[in-house]
Amino acid sequence: MDFEIPEHLTAMVDTVRRFVKQDLEPISRQVEEEDRIPEEVVQTMRRLGLFGLAIPEKYGGLELGTLGECLVYEELGRTNACFRTRLGTNNGIGSQGIVLDGTKAQKEKYLPRLASGEWIACFALTEPEAGSDAANIQTTAELVGDHWVLNGRKHFITNGDIADVATVFAVNDKQKRAKGGITAFIVEKTFPGFYVGTIERKMGMRGSHTCELVFDDCRVPPENVIGGGSMVGQGFKTAMKTLDKGRLTMGASSLGSAQKLLELSVDYARQRVQFGRPIAQFQAIQFMLADMATQVYAARQMLYHAASLRDKKGSSVIKEASMVKLFCTEMANRIADMAVQIHGGLGYMKDFPVERFYRDLRLTRIYEGTSEIQRLVIARELLRE
Ligand code: COS
């Protein structure tokens, strides 16, 4: 496996690294306090093309490929998670249904607006009774006359409050469900019967909102079934394929956060003096740093390999994607814990970024598929092989 990173990707990574250092990191605390990203920063994201990392060039995106996208998310993982989250739904779960399975007309209509960041997308699968058991969604889709009518509620929807368009999954055949009875729809916020409900209060991820979406006799034209008429009932597979890719990019941003926490911990251990010498000279601290560095190194090799594999095979890497999400997110949480430990009391204070990383990273083991679901997927793939 050759890990040589192509030149066009290293240039992109340099640009994003500079953007993170010069524009995002300095306002990280302000964003945390105000719970919003300033509009001028979003404008810069648009100018850099960051909303279209994963969208084909012919629809206005950068089409970086999976490895390229992961490298960018690794850089974004080094700062406040809300920045990555703002970009993530357009490049990932919000738009991938259209990229993977959309009709030509759907791609032409929606992808250029999403790639430019003019429109924001979100992904509406999860419901109060259907989290890990995604096939159990209760939102219904019924063909009434020439329109589909959606009824139900989604919750925990990232960017739902600012989304112009949502990829929505609903049951059109209760007997078949995941096996031919769930359909994916593109719902615009202006469609009648579509409402934004409660905005959730969370442990972390401030600056990124998570909310409820309500469909009350929401009328959706037939041309907004993802993939068109032949894809009615095939939406569950669209959802699963979309999540596979998100699992790699989630691994990437977790890796970036872990790398940053390692660097912060090394710096702090060098400066902090106790018992007359820097704590970096104590073996207890050295062992933690060594474990952190080793785990970051292992995660990086795994991520780059799986991302390159997806680019080469041009198809899904179901098992590897779940392995990456499981390993990288669990690893980053262990590292956040060690980083807090090395920083001692200061690591628990809001003045230090490790406290924020510790809270924000906790979510990565839950959303876009819990660690337990990743294990289930890996085991099923293993036993199928
Ligand atoms: N890619 C393509 N197709 C897939 C797939 C994938 N990764 N995973 C499943 N499918 C297909 C199956 O092959 C099956 O197709 P057939 O009917 O042709 O056989 C169909 O989808 C149903 O799959 P399955 O029987 O495996 O469905 P289950 O109900 O057993 O659910 C899990 C499977 C648990 C893997 C799924 O519910 C899941 O991923 N849950 C987690 C959801 C999640 O991540 N939520 C996070 C919130 S959204 S941000």
Ligand 1: distance of its center to the CA of 348 in Å? 39
Taking residues 232-243, what's their average pLDDT?
96
Please state the rounded mean pLDDT for residues 184-190: 98
Query: What percent of the chain is predicted at pLDDT more than 90?
Result: 96
Domain boundary among 233, 256, 286: 233
8 A C-beta contact, residue 16 and residue 53? no
Ligand 1 lined by 132 (C-beta under 6 Å): yes
Asked if residue 374 and residue 241 are part of one domain, the reply reads yes
| Residues 171 and 83 sit within 8 Å (Cβ to Cβ) | no
* Tens digits of residue pLDDT in 306-321: 999 999 877 679 999 9
* 95 ligand 1 Cβ < 6 A: no
Domain end, chosen from 190, 214, 233, is at 233
Give yes or no: residues 222 and 272 share one domain: no
Residue nearest to atom 44 of ligand 1 (CA): 369
Q: How large a percentage of the chain has pLDDT more than 70? A: 99
Same domain, 212 and 108: no
Do the domain assignments include residue 158? yes
Is residue 332 located within the same domain as residue 274? yes
Q: Which is the catalytic residue, given 368, 372, 381, 385? A: 368
The model's pLDDT over 245-301, given as tens digits with 9 standing for 90+, comes to 899 999 999 999 999 999 999 999 999 999 999 999 999 999 999 999 999 999 999
Cβ atoms of 325 and 365 closer than 8 Å: no
Residue 368: active-site member: yes
pTM: 0.96
- Cα 237 to averaged position of ligand 1 atoms, centre (Å): 7
Whether 58 and 83 map to the same domain: the answer is: yes
CA dihedral 100, 186, 85, 5 (to 10 degrees): 20
Residue 1 lies inside a defined structural domain of this protein: no
Q: Which of 236, 244, 323, 382 to mutate to test the pocket of ligand 1 (most atoms within 8 A of CB)?
A: 236
Residue type, position 77, single letter: G
Look up the CATH number of the domain holding residue 258: 1.20.140.10
pLDDT by residue (tens digit) across 13-45?
999 999 999 999 999 999 999 999 999 999 999
Residue 245 maps to a domain: yes
Looking at residue 166, its pLDDT comes to 98
- Tell me which residue has its CA closest to atom 11 in ligand 1: 237
Question: 236 CB less than 6 Å from ligand 1?
Answer: yes
**Total count of domains within the chain:** 3
Query: ∠ CA 141-146-152 to the nearest 5 degrees?
Result: 20
Which atom of ligand 1 lies closest to the CA of 246? 49
Indicate if 286 and 229 belong to the same structural domain.
no
* Same domain, yes or no: 140 and 228: yes
pLDDT of residue 4: 80
Residues 227 and 268 in one domain: no
- Give the CATH number, domain containing residue 127: 2.40.110.10
Residue 2 lies in a domain: no
Looking up residue 53, the CATH number of its domain turns out to be 1.10.540.10
Which amino acid residue places its CA nearest to atom 28 of ligand 1? Answer: 135
pLDDT for position 1: 66
- Boundary (domain end) residue, out of 187, 212, 233: 233
Q: Across the chain, what does the average pLDDT equal?
A: 96
The domain in which residue 285 lies consists of 237-384
3-state SS record for 187-236 = EECCCCCEEEEEECCCCCCCCCCEEEEEEEEEEECHHHECCCHHHCCEHH
Residue 341 lies in a domain: yes
370 lines ligand 1 (CB under 6 A): no
Q: Do residues 246 and 372 share a domain? A: yes
- pLDDT at site 192: 97
| Distance separating alpha carbons of residues 252 and 249, to the nearest angstrom | 5
Q: Is 75 in the pocket of ligand 1 (CB under 6 A)?
A: no
Atom 5 of ligand 1: nearest residue by CA position: 240
pLDDT in tens, 111-124: 999 999 999 999 99
**Predicted confidence (pLDDT) per residue in 132-186, tens digit:** 999 999 999 999 999 999 999 999 999 999 999 999 999 999 999 999 999 999 9
Q: Please give the distance of CA 147 from its chain centroid, rounded to a whole number.
A: 32
Closest residue by CA, ligand 1 atom 40: 132
Residues 17 and 103 in one domain: yes
Residue nearest to atom 1 of ligand 1 (CA): 241
pLDDT at residue 313, as a whole number = 77
| pLDDT above 70 for 2 | no
241, 380: one domain:
yes
256 and 306: one domain?
yes
- Exposure string of 152-164, with b = 16+ CB inside 10 Å and e = fewer, is bbbbbbbbbbbbb
- Whether residue 345 is contained in a domain is answered as yes
Say if CB 108 and CB 99 are below 8 A apart.
no
Pocket lining: 122 vs ligand 1, CB cutoff 6 Å: no
22 domain residue, yes or no: yes
> Six-digit token pair at 222?
């037939």
